[in-house]
């Protein structure tokens, strides 16, 4: 029952041009309220039930146009009077307006009550279209509260009904909503297919606001896929379709998203400008939900622009608004952004509380992508505080969530599967208002009524086609049931596989990647850097005097020395950098976008921190230090993993020969190092081969 341009875009009607000044409007509203009983009696005398309903509708429309605070009460009156008089269309419109208003102000409980009321009416009267509309509205409410299983079921029920009665546009709208559920669960390839197909149908239908919301949904989907080119195109087209005087609420939502796209593209100024424009639009007509979204966008943009203090204050205000309307997922996103902002300010201890609160929501709603991001930030915070055990635990959690995500697999399918790749290409080729080939535009209401006489010749073929489609629908539902049962069994197998994969890919003592896992990730990193002309720095280091400490203080002290070194490294590295254990006391670090001087400076920080903190460790480890070799792959020196390791390892060998406890960079003038480097080179070659 929710208006099908929304509910994300649902909002009260804007006042008509020429509306009287607020004082005059207030007087008229007050008179309307006082005179309502008398006017109702007069209308009933003049026109009976029809007169009473028309009066109630007119009063509600005036209250809505004037943005009266009691608009909902007038709409409730229309619903009740229409029910008493048996005027179905007016009651449906009133309940729909009430539901949209409740969703806009974040009152999901009211939305559910209204949709259930409308559903009861539809079932009693046998109105299948309105029954589907109410199921759609209940699905939107469930999605807003993070109940994704229920949302998926309601959308599928609505789609089945609308498909059965031939409501193509409404099928597309519900498919768009179902695509958002798939997106929330990380089923990105499935979501792309569904969203692009829905957009093509809605372009054929020709309703600008429906098209605009589909472009918005696709912009958000491509943003999550990190396809910022497609996301920006979709966002721009969503805004263009709103016309020269766009409604505030959908405009604000699109500006929020476009701001985030600009920030991810490194365009902080453009992102901040869009975020401020979004805040202005949603402050005019967004309610607490809109203002919480605006706070998330503006807080992130301010942080990206270096205005950390103002960003933190904005994000905290958004958290209060999200909590007030029980928007748990949005509240978790705000807390994650707050934790990131506090870390950027150098306040890791303060970042832990909002990150922990976001983790609680993520675990309750099984949001693996959110949990991965939160765990990575927790790892950074604990590392900055020198708490290596907690940092290691957070790192392991991040790895577990990352491997559980279907996103990487789905991205691989998106790239490999021709049909899904074509869906993205179809979208990039579309223009607003363009009807895709092979999908004719729906006939308009101004066409002549009735059918030409020859059309009746199609009756028998169409009846056979309808029966075939009905059988196909039953078969599809049977297959879906079997697929769900298979998914349960597959999930159990995946859990066992992921546990085994973690044991193979992560060093259990330090939480760093194993040699083979690091080699695999480095190959991917080098390929990405090669495609984009970026540099990749490789640091190879080992612990000086480690054997002496191990022999003198015992193996437990040696283990603590390894954890100390990796904890310091995590505190200096970004979440996208790689940390691996080559073997024994030898480690590797890879950083994309870092040149030779920056890499040597990072290596010097690692060396200095370890020397400074080792004497205060438990037990004290006097004499523990680092020798580091540094090399860089770039467009001049190439992106071969074997050559990069050989150059960094040779530099490490020279650091050892020069007296240890130092950083040595790659020097083409030096020949290959001796036996130790050759041993590691053979091991590295084996890792690359594996």
Number of helices followed by number of strands (H, E) in the chain: 27, 5
Q: pLDDT band at 453, cuts 50/70/90? A: very low
Between 314 and 469, name the one with better pLDDT.
314
Q: What domains are defined for the chain?
A: 1-166 (1.25.40.10), 515-689 (3.30.70.270)
Lowest mean pLDDT: which of 89-98, 166-175, 503-512?
89-98
What is the widest separation between alpha-carbon atoms in the chain?
107
The two tokens of residue 360 are: 């609680």
Q: Which long-range contacts (CB under 8 A, 24 or more apart) does 474-482 make?
A: 477/160
Please compute Rg for the chain using Cα positions: 31
Cβ–Cβ < 8 Å for 9, 213 = yes
Strand 578-583 versus strand 625-633 pairing type = unpaired
Whole-prediction pTM: 0.49
Q: pLDDT band at 603, cuts 50/70/90? A: very high
Has residue 482 got a pLDDT over 70? no
CA dihedral for 656, 657, 658, 664, sign (positive or negative): negative
Q: pLDDT band at 538, cuts 50/70/90? A: very high
What's the pLDDT at 3? Answer: 40
What's the pLDDT at 264? Answer: 83
Q: pLDDT band at 118, cuts 50/70/90? A: confident
Cis peptide before 619 (omega within 30 of 0): yes
The dihedral over CA atoms of 4, 5, 11, 17, expressed in degrees to the nearest 10, equals -120
What's the pLDDT at 607? Answer: 93
436's CB contacts (< 8 A; 6+ apart) are 200, 203, 204, 426, 430
pLDDT tens sequence across 520-534 = 889 989 988 888 888
Burial label for 501, CB within 10 Å (0-12, 13-18, 19+), is middle
What's the pLDDT at 44? Answer: 47
Q: pLDDT band at 263, cuts 50/70/90? A: confident
What's the pLDDT at 65? Answer: 57
Cβ–Cβ < 8 Å for 594, 605 = no
- In percent, the amount of the chain with pLDDT more than 70 equals 67
Q: pLDDT band at 447, cuts 50/70/90? A: very low
Rounded Cα distance between 178 and 157, Å, is 11
- Work out the mean pLDDT of the chain and round it to a whole number: 74
Of 559, 578, 549, the closest CA to residue 510 belongs to 559
| DSSP output for 288-304 | HHHHHHHHHHHHHHHHH
pLDDT tens sequence across 1-58 = 444 333 344 343 344 344 445 555 555 545 455 545 544 554 444 445 555 556 555 6
Collapsing DSSP to helix, strand or coil, 266 comes out as coil
Of 481, 482, 490, the closest CA to residue 153 belongs to 481
- Beta-sheet strand order (sheet of 663-665): 578-583, 586-592, 536-544, 625-633, 663-665
């Amino acid at each position: 029952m929710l208006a099908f341009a929304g509910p994300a875009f649902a909002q009260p009607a804007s006042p008509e041009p020429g509306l009287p000044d607020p004082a005059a409007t207030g007087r008229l509203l007050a008179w309307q309220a006082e005179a309502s009983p008398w006017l109702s009696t007069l209308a009933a005398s003049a026109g009976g039930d029809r007169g009473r309903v028309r009066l109630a509708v007119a009063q509600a429309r005036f209250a809505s146009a004037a943005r009266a605070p009691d608009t909902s009460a007038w709409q409730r009156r229309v619903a009740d009077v229409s029910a008493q008089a048996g005027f179905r269309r007016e009651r449906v419109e009133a309940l729909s307006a009430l539901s949209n208003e409740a969703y806009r102000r974040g009152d999901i409980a009211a939305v559910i009550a209204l949709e259930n009321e409308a559903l009861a009416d539809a079932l009693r009267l046998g109105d299948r279209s309105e029954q589907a509309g109410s199921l759609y509205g209940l699905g939107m409410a469930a999605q807003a509260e993070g109940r994704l299983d229920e949302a998926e079921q309601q959308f599928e029920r609505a789609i089945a009904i609308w498909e059965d009665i031939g409501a193509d546009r409404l099928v597309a709208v519900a498919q768009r909503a179902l695509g958002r559920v798939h997106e929330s669960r990380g089923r990105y390839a499935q979501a792309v297919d569904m969203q692009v197909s829905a957009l093509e149908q809605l372009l054929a239908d020709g309703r600008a606001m429906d098209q605009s919301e589909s472009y918005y949904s696709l912009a958000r989907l491509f943003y999550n896929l990190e396809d910022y080119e497609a996301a920006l195109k979709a966002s721009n087209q969503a805004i263009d379709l709103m016309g020269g005087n766009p409604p505030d609420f959908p405009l604000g939502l699109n500006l929020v998203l476009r701001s985030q796209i600009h920030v991810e593209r490194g365009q902080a100024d453009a992102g901040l400008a869009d975020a401020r424009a979004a805040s202005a639009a949603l402050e005019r007509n967004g309610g607490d939900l809109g203002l919480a979204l605006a706070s998330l966008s503006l807080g992130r943009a301010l942080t990206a622009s270096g205005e950390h203090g103002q960003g933190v204050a904005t994000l905290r205000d958004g958290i209060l608004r999200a909590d007030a309307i029980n928007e748990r997922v949005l509240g978790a996103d705000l807390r994650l952004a707050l934790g990131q902002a506090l870390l950027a300010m150098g306040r890791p201890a303060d970042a832990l509380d909002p990150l922990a609160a976001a983790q609680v929501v993520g675990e309750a709603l099984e949001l693996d992508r959110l949990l991965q991001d939160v765990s990575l930030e927790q790892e950074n915070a604990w590392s900055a505080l020198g708490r290596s055990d907690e940092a290691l635990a957070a790192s392991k959690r991040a790895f577990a969530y990352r491997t559980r995500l279907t996103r990487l697999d789905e991205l691989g399918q998106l790239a490999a599967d021709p049909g899904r790749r074509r869906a993205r290409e179809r979208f990039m080729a579309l223009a607003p208002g363009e009807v895709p080939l092979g999908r004719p535009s729906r006939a308009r209401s101004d066409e002549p009524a009735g059918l030409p006489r020859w059309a009746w010749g199609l009756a028998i073929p169409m009846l056979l086609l309808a029966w075939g489609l009905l059988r196909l629908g039953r078969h599809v539902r049977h297959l879906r049931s079997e697929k769900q049962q298979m998914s349960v069994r597959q999930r159990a197998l995946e859990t066992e596989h992921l546990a085994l994969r973690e044991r193979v890919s992560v060093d259990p003592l330090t939480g760093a990647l194993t040699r083979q896992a690091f080699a695999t990730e480095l190959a991917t990193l080098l390929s990405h850097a090669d495609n984009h002309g970026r540099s990749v720095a490789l640091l190879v280091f080992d612990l000086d005097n480690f054997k002496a400490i191990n022999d003198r203080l015992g193996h437990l002290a040696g283990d603590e020395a390894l954890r100390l070194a990796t904890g310091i490294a995590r505190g200096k590295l970004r979440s996208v950098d790689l940390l691996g254990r080559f073997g024994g006391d030898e480690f590797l670090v890879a950083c994309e976008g870092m040149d030779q001087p920056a890499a040597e400076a990072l290596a010097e920080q690692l060396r200095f921190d370890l020397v400074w903190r080792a004497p205060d460790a438990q037990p004290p480890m006097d004499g523990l230090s680092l020798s580091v070799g540094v090399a860089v792959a770039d467009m001049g020196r190439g992106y071969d993993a074997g050559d990069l390791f050989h150059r960094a390892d040779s530099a490490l060998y020279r650091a050892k020969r020069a007296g240890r406890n130092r950083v040595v960079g790659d020097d083409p003038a030096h020949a290959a190092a001796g036996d130790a480097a050759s041993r590691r080179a053979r091991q590295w070659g084996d890792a690359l081969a594996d």
